[in-house]
Structure 1
Amino acid sequence: MYFVQDETATFIFVLELLTPHLQKHSEKFGRHPITPEKQLLIAIWMMATPNSYRCVSDRFGIGRATAWRSVMKVVNALYYHLHTFIKWPSLEEATATWTTIKNRYGFPKVLGAIDGTHIKIAAPKKNPECYINRKGYHSIQLQVICDSSLKFIHCYAGQVGSVHDMRVFRLSGFQNMCTEENFPENSHLLGDSAYGIQKYIMIPFRDNGHLTETQTNYNKIYSSSRMIVERSLGLLKGRFRSILDTLPMTRTDLIPKYIVTCCILHNICLLHNDIIDIPIIVNDGQNENHEIIDSATKEEGIQKRDFIAQALLNRQLFL
């Protein structure tokens, strides 16, 4: 991996954060306890590479079971800090995001962008057919919302690959967060066509070959603005290659926490300006729309989108 900033500072920060958690369990590793530093190195190596536990254990001179326990101790310790590093933005943070996106791309009042991605896994022993996604491989889904700095402000993982994006959205419970309090000043997210339109989620106009100038202009600006979430997922999978390739884990009950932990580390790295430059674009969301939005909510979203589309065209005309 190639870092713009010195990654040592990020490692030291994470080590200091997790040491109290990792020390408490060190005596369980046998006669010669593994230090918190080595536990963290093992976990990071496991997350950042597509290597198997056998390769990792050989590299660090430990048994496979010890390597697995080290990774899970770090995962649990990081997950403890979930709400410290992945949290909904304050009004000040939200304002910074929609101001940045408006200045950079032109789309108004964007609090963030939402998308889903599939994490490839080996076929589980129990109900493997449920995990097969539309592309034909076994996966567990991750839904993220990111801000203009590519940090995640909401993450949800755990649904099987066969579940549609909109269904994942419903199961995530995020619909309950779609309130004026969480979306101040009539702000909204940008989602792809798999999400039903509503007041707090703007999606593109369906291209039926007869889009108006207003709708075409809207879609163009929308597409540029929404690229932030594809870039954030690309950065996540570029840094943590274990979730880019087939994840070397068989415990499907533990995989969601592992995935979210990678998201936590992603945010920590960004907070420390620890950036990698790997051009990965992730776009494996479903493009068909299986709407389950009630008619009143949908109509409110359509009216808002029409208003934004007209305002965007007017702005283009007078530039």
Structure 2
Amino acid sequence: MAAQQQQRRNFRERKDCLNEYTDEELIRRYRLDSNGIRFVEDLVRDDIRSGSMRNHAMTAKQKLLLTLRFLATGKMQLCNGDDMGLSQSSVSRAIASTLQSLTRQEIVGRFIKFPMQPEQIRRNQEQFYQIAGFPGIVGAVDGTHVQIIAPKDNENEYVNRHHYHSINVQVVFNANYHIIDIVAKWPGSTHDSRILNESGLRQLFENHLIPVQTHLLGDSGYASHRWLLTPFLRPELGPQTNYNRAHRRTRSLVERGIGQLKRRFYVLHGEIRMSPRKTCQVITACAVLHNICKDRHIPLPEEDNLVGENIDDNDAVENQNVINPGAAAHQNGTLYRRQFANTHF
């Protein structure tokens, strides 16, 4: 009996964070306001609700808040800072189950969608054109590295060109900083160009499932294609210089988009101490939640200690060797780029 009484005293009353904090405080802690948290809770509740009938079993809301706190801070030990009175193992299990739910195919497909309909594509093109007069753009693509702890298996494959272990993530943004495509599965040593060449995105374009005169923008780490426009490395005066200037201004959107994503979810800035598979779930969950925040007009947190808009390190190495998918395809893309610049600039 005494042991049971002692066990009861170990439980602390868990805060009702949604009623205790203002929306501004919730965004600072969890990156979502109260309505946004309830919206996401509705998405994952059936997956993550506890099957236990114990008095102190975690609710779906509590599991979600723990996960949001982890994604916002990147520090597992801070997830218990809201007086939920939980063990570290309970925190870890709650986060794992919530990440599993947030990255279900139906949820990812609902919130991260590449535009396929002509009206959707035309809207994207018009919005990109307003930036610097660059026509025909549906999205801007880039890669970004997310640091991980050295994995147990195939450790060398995860060492990137900056000599740390990472996942190399391909991400495509539209002109409103929505993520319209993400690939989070490749080891850090994998070249950006290979990730794109082996992606479903390339198949959409090359199988003519995307209308002609529709393009992505990418840096010089990618090979030129009729659907992927990259800058001229040695531009001639006139149309090519004008093309490069508009290209640079327009493509900078993806760099700012990556910066916003990493600012919103600080877990993506530090070393994630999880397996590569779970790290990829973290990245994808952050992308889903980022788009939910955009859809619901939830602002970025205003914190002086957060890193601002990120200029990704890929720009510093644009002249890196490209893994060419085929000389003929690359030459065709280069000729198309010259014609495109002469026609539009």
Contact kept, 8 Å, 1:196 with 1:292, in 2: the verdict is yes
Q: How many angstroms apart in 2 are the aligned matches of 1:262 and 1:6? A: 12
**CA RMSD between the two structures:** 2.3
The structure showing larger relative contact order (alpha-carbon pairs under 8 Å, at least 6 residues apart) is 1
**1:58/1:271 CA distance change after superposition, 3 Å:** closer
> Does the CA-based 8 Å contact 1:102-1:109 persist in structure 2?
yes
Choose from 18, 37, 42 the match for 1:11: 37
Asked if 1:200 corresponds to 2:200, the answer is no
- Aligned twin of 2:217: 190
- Give the alignment partner of residue 85 of structure 2, picking from 61, 73, 85: 61
Structure 1 runs, 4 residues or longer, greater than 4 Å off? 1-6, 28-31
The aligned amino acid for 1:55 is L
Match of 1:219 in 2: 244
- Whether 2:130 is the aligned partner of 1:107: answer no
d(CA) in 2 for partners of 1:173, 1:183: 12
| Structure 2 residues not aligned, in runs of 5+ | 1-23
Distance apart, 1:76 and its partner CA: 1.5
What is the alpha-carbon distance in structure 2 between the residues aligned to residue 8 and residue 178 of structure 1? 40
Aligned mates of 1:184, 1:171 — CA distance in 2: 20
Asked whether 1:301 is paired with 2:333, we answer yes
Q: Counterpart of 1:46 in structure 2: which amino acid?
A: F
Q: Distance in 1 between matches of 2:251 and 2:53?
A: 46
- Are the structure 2 counterparts of residues 236 and 182 from structure 1 closer, same or farther at C-alpha, using a change threshold of 3 Å? farther
The change in CA–CA distance for 1:102 and 1:64 in structure 2 (over 3 A counts) is same
User: What are the superposed Cα offsets for residues 218-261 of structure 1, whole Å, 9 maximum, x if unpaired?
Assistant: 11100001112111111110000001111132x22222122111
Contact 2:223 2:230 in 1 (8 A): yes
Q: Is 1:284 matched with 2:316?
A: no
In the TM superposition, 1:251-290 aligns within 5 A as: 251-276=275-300, 279-285=308-314, 286-287=317-318, 288-290=320-322
The number of aligned residues is: 307
Quote the offset at 1:50 in angstroms.
2.6
- Match 2:172 to one of 141, 145, 165: 145
The residue number in structure 1 matching 2:73 is 49
- Contact (CA 8 Å) 1:120, 1:137: kept in 2 or not? yes
Alpha-carbon displacement from aligned partner over 1:264-294 (angstroms, at most 9, x marks no partner): 1111111111121673223122521313232
TM (norm. structure 2) is 0.82
Partner of 1:232: 257
1:154 correspondence with 2:181: yes
Q: Provide the identity percentage.
A: 29
> Are the equivalent residues in 1 in contact too, given 2:225–2:334 (CA < 8 A)?
yes
> CA shift at 1:136, angstroms?
1.4
Residue 317 of structure 1 corresponds to: none
Which residue of the partner structure matches residue 197 of structure 2?
Answer: 170
Give the whole-Å Cα distance in 1 for the aligned partners of 2:222 and 2:269.
24
Query: Aligned with 2:224: secondary structure?
Result: coil
> 1:15 is paired with a residue of what secondary structure?
helix
Q: Distance in 2 between matches of 1:150 and 1:70?
A: 30
Deviations 1:17-46 (A, max 9, x none): 2222222xx125966210111111000000
Mapped to 2, the partners of 1:11 and 1:56 lie a distance apart of: 16
